[in-house]
Homo-oligomer: A and B are copies of this chain.
């Protein structure tokens, strides 16, 4: 009954150095955890592993929120999970739109029946407290503000401190996209009053793609508990999911089959984050960003955003450079992936990610050397 023939060569993907917008480099330790024996999703051993994973997520999100867990899907499933659970048809919401992911948040919230008031800024810009306050003046019935902490399409870093006071004074919720910041940038869900937040496994956490950590605070729970309408997604319905993820005790409600091996990998990735310590990790990302920035600017390259993320460096493609040819040479000659521009930035920008395991002196100096060579600026 065992298979002995092999029809095709085994899978040997190239060992790329992933310095794009994600996925980011996955440590061997995480890949090994990923390949551990598969348990059943109701096995007491697995329940314990999942509980540990949720507790580690709380530490990394800096929150006491009980309802903190990985959605079984990518970061975009995390975005949709927040939207479908927090929004009811007819709700007014304000969304900061200054890149691809703000645009998507607007579309997804509209898909939930919301009237979305787009607070717009240039691509690469961020929003000030004053602009946000003015938006609430114009739209006093807005029940939620959606902001992208780390706009992966432009590299812009949205400050969040102080925004929640303004939002909560209006009786609204603060929902945040932290896909490209969690585990790399300072992010304090409780201290900053963030009511709901989502991220992705494959950015600064260095786990393969496929999971979307989310966290919901008390105000968000109250909003969900007061819903008059059914959540339009069954798969992402938190009122069901919470019976599995925070059921308490070893006996859990079956909603869907949890992604066992991906949970192993996420747990291992989060352990690595906490072993380093969050403050050290943020500082390392800042230092590596500064080192990269100095090098890029010495090569005559300039940044797209005024306030750049540490984790993702979005730079203008210099005049005369062939976008696709440069990226292809980096891939083929150096086995390095960097990101193309996204949406309106296609052909105009490159995105260099320094995320978690990837944010090292070795990688910074290597990508600078490779770019110098490929751009002929040596």
Contacts and interface: CB of A to CB of B under 8 A. Distances in A.
Interface of A: 1, 3, 5-8, 10-16, 18, 20, 22-23, 25-26, 31-43, 45-46, 49, 72-77, 79-80, 104, 107-108, 111, 200, 202, 208-210, 230, 232-236, 254-262, 264-265, 267-268, 271-272, 274-276, 284, 331, 337, 340, 342, 359-361
A72 B73 CA distance: 6
Leading 7 A-B pairs by shortest Cβ distance: A35-B35, A210-B259, A208-B261, A76-B256, A209-B257, A31-B35, A26-B38
Nearest to A284: B1
State the copy count for this chain: 2
A6 B275 CA distance: 7
Q: Give the residue among A37, A72, A111 with the most B Cβ atoms within 10 A.
A: A37
B208 A262 contact: yes
Contacts of A13: 36-39, 45-46, 49, 264
Contacts of A275: 3, 5-7
A14 B39 CA distance: 7
B3 A80 contact: no
A86 to B, nearest CB: 15
Given A1-B360, A14-B37, A23-B39, 13 more contacts: A5-B275, A6-B275, A7-B271, A11-B264, A16-B38, A26-B37, A34-B35, A35-B35, A38-B202, A42-B340, A76-B257, A210-B259, A233-B233
Nearest to A328: B44
Contacts of A15: 37
Given A36-B13, A80-B233, A74 B43 contact: no
A75 to B, nearest CB: 7
Nearest to A206: B38
Contacts of A46: 13
Nearest to A7: B275
B16 A267 contact: no
A267 B261 CA distance: 16
Contact of A260 (B23, B25, B255): B23
Contacts of A233: 80, 111, 232-233
A136 to B, nearest CB: 26
Q: Give the residue among A16, A32, A230 with the most B Cβ atoms within 10 A.
A: A16
Given A72-B73, A271-B8, A257 B202 contact: yes
Contacts of A235: 73, 76-77, 80, 236
A32 B35 contact: yes
Contacts of A23: 38-41, 257, 260
Given A8-B271, A210-B259, A235-B77, A337 B35 contact: no
Given A234-B108, A337-B40, A72 B264 contact: no
Contacts of A33: 10-11
Contacts of A257: 22-23, 74-76, 200, 202, 209
Contact of A276 (B3, B72, B210, B342): B3
A352 B360 CA distance: 49
A143 B155 CA distance: 46
A10 B36 CA distance: 10
A75 B8 contact: no
Q: Give the residue among A108, A111, A232, A233 with the most B Cβ atoms within 10 A.
A: A233
Contacts of A32: 35
A16 B35 contact: no
Contacts of A261: 26, 31, 34, 208, 210, 265
A260 to B, nearest CB: 6
